Amino acid sequence: MAKWDDIYCSLCETILTTGTRVHNRTGIDTIKIPSTHFQLDVGQEFPILTTKQLFIRQAVLEMLWIYQAQSNDVRWLQERNVHIWDEWEIDENGDWKDVKTGKVLRHFDPSMAHTIGTAYGYVVKKYGLIDRLIQSLQETPEDRRRVVSLWQDAEMETAVLPSCVWSSEWDITDGKLNVWVHQRSCDVPLGLPFNVTQYAVLMKMLAQVCHLEVGTLDWSIKDAHIYVNQIEGIQEQLSRWHENGSYEAPTLWLNPKVEDFYQFDNSKELKDIRLEGYRHMGKISMPIAQ
């Protein structure tokens, strides 16, 4: 059975049974708990949910958009048939609008059209975050200062959505690459499954190009929540878990010939990565809150 499914479904159950209902900026209430933490041994099990289908192509391409392409341009994703950021795209007039009502939520300089402003990949590129991380992993394995922060105060005012997964800390212990990821706010039904799988893939890619083994992924969340219009979908997933448990975790294959992080294929086909033996219990549709 997949340990990640057990951790994830237990978290969802905890939120629904002990959480507090609160209002938030989206206008859709959430059930939340103030914090949580879990650890996964990615060297032993690749974390991707089996109690519902996760579309790894979209998840990996979003991660590569941020850390490899270092882009904030939503069209990069759209060209690859990934539409998870469409609702945060600034239009040609510099407006970020409510997709349902057309109301202008914020106005930006029109030069930021088709982007999400100064967030995510923009920050990675401006501050050279991934290059410094790779250099440190390759040249100074004992380094204790590998903090990759997507939360830069200078960029907050011109970001459509400040980074939710906002920082990661990396270390090498006994030849294994480990990371601790911090998330300031977490849409548990939709965001968390994507995010955990993304960082597990990033770990394995960096470990490969830096000639390291893969170790543990620690994950801490401040404000772990479920939107009230997602409860039905989560209850369906929990029902599957209680009745059937989970399937065995699949194996992630990376092209062993790739020795440079920037050489992993980021085309629509994602040629250098695939899941082997992925069994899941099917898709569960849940709404996203803009």
- Would you name the residues annotated as active-site residues? 164
Query: How far is the C-alpha of 94 from the C-alpha of 92, rounded, in Å?
Result: 5
Single-letter amino acid code for the residue at 117: G
Q: Pairing between strand 20-22 and 30-41?
A: antiparallel
Query: How far is the C-alpha of 91 from the C-alpha of 134, rounded, in Å?
Result: 35
Single-letter amino acid code for the residue at 260: D
Residue 239, Cβ density class (10 Å: 0-12 exposed, 13-18 middle, ≥19 buried)? exposed
Query: How far is the C-alpha of 169 from the C-alpha of 167, rounded, in Å?
Result: 7
CA atoms in the 13 A half-sphere facing the CB of 104? 9
Q: What angle do CA 90, 96, 99 make, to 5 degrees?
A: 110
